[in-house]
Amino acid sequence: AQSVTQLDSQVPVFEEAPVELRCNYSSSVSVYLFWYVQYPNQGLQLLLKYLSGSTLVESINGFEAEFNKSQTSFHLRKPSVHISDTAEYFCAVSDPPWAGGTSYGKLTFGQGTILTVHP
Amino acid sequence: GAGVSQSPSNKVTEKGKDVELRCDPISGHTALYWYRQSLGQGLEFLIYFQGNSAPDKSGLPSDRFSAERTGGSVSTLTIQRTQQEDSAVYLCASSLKRGGRRGETQYFGPGTRLLVL
């Protein structure tokens, strides 16, 4: 069975500071990895995803995440945050289709990390 | 284009009553998922539908929960004899197809906030 652990429930930072949101996963097979973001009073939106290939993936708004297979981690980073980045961030995993079984496609989420950016 | 829509946005009900939650997926999306977001459990998978295949019901917490998808489009999640622990935000998501090799993105609706008194 898969599981996802987000090590920090809340991360307060000042504007323009760097931030790292940590995510570790547990799975016996290869996985797809995702970061979703939920802005206040809005629905979940995909931020970025790792399927295969380059272990560093980037989003259009400056976030990046690196897949580390040996450490089973997929930490999210941004070198300089803005007030508008204040949101809850969820790490998620799913089985790829070649993993076998019938569970591929559905997402297993971490508990979420609330990022608060202060001026 | 239109995103995933859900109705109602909020629902308050009394313990023991039945409720129906509706999801309209993005047109053309064959995969539809239901998740639940609650304080104690976080975000958890409930059920998904892919085209005309049998749904994966492995995440439904009890037999009081059921869902159907009519005509491969609209889906209804029904909770019978609601309990206070059913209080949560119920999220629906759709994707072009079930997690293929491109890890098809799931697009989420705004959710239905259910409160059972």
In the predicted structure, residue A99 carries a pLDDT above the cut 80? no
> CB distance from B92 to chain A under 8 Å?
no
Average pLDDT over residues A98-116: 83
Average pLDDT over residues B53-79: 91
Describe chain B by its helix, strand, coil percentages, rounded to 5: 5, 50, 45
- Residue whose tokens read 């979420």: A112
Gyration radius from chain A CA atoms: 14
Percent of chain A past pLDDT 70, that is, above it, reads 94
Contact residues, chain B, for A111 at CB < 8 Å: 42
B102: CB partners within 8 A, 6+ apart: A51
d(CA B102, CA B100): 5
Query: Any CB–CB contact under 8 A between B90 and chain A?
Result: no
Name the minimum distance, in Å, from the CA of A87 to any CA of chain B: 15
Q: For residues A7 and A91, what is the distance between their CA atoms, to the nearest angstrom?
A: 11
Over residues A3-18, the pLDDT tens digits come to: 999 999 999 999 999 9
Query: What average pLDDT is seen over chain B?
Result: 91
At residue B1, does pLDDT exceed 60?
no
Residue B98 — very low, low, confident or very high, per pLDDT cuts 50/70/90? low
Residue B5 Cα to chain centre, angstroms: 11
Q: What pLDDT, in 10s, does the model give residues A59-69?
A: 988 999 999 98
Q: What single letter denotes the amino acid at residue B112?
A: T
Residue B30, both tokens:
């064959």
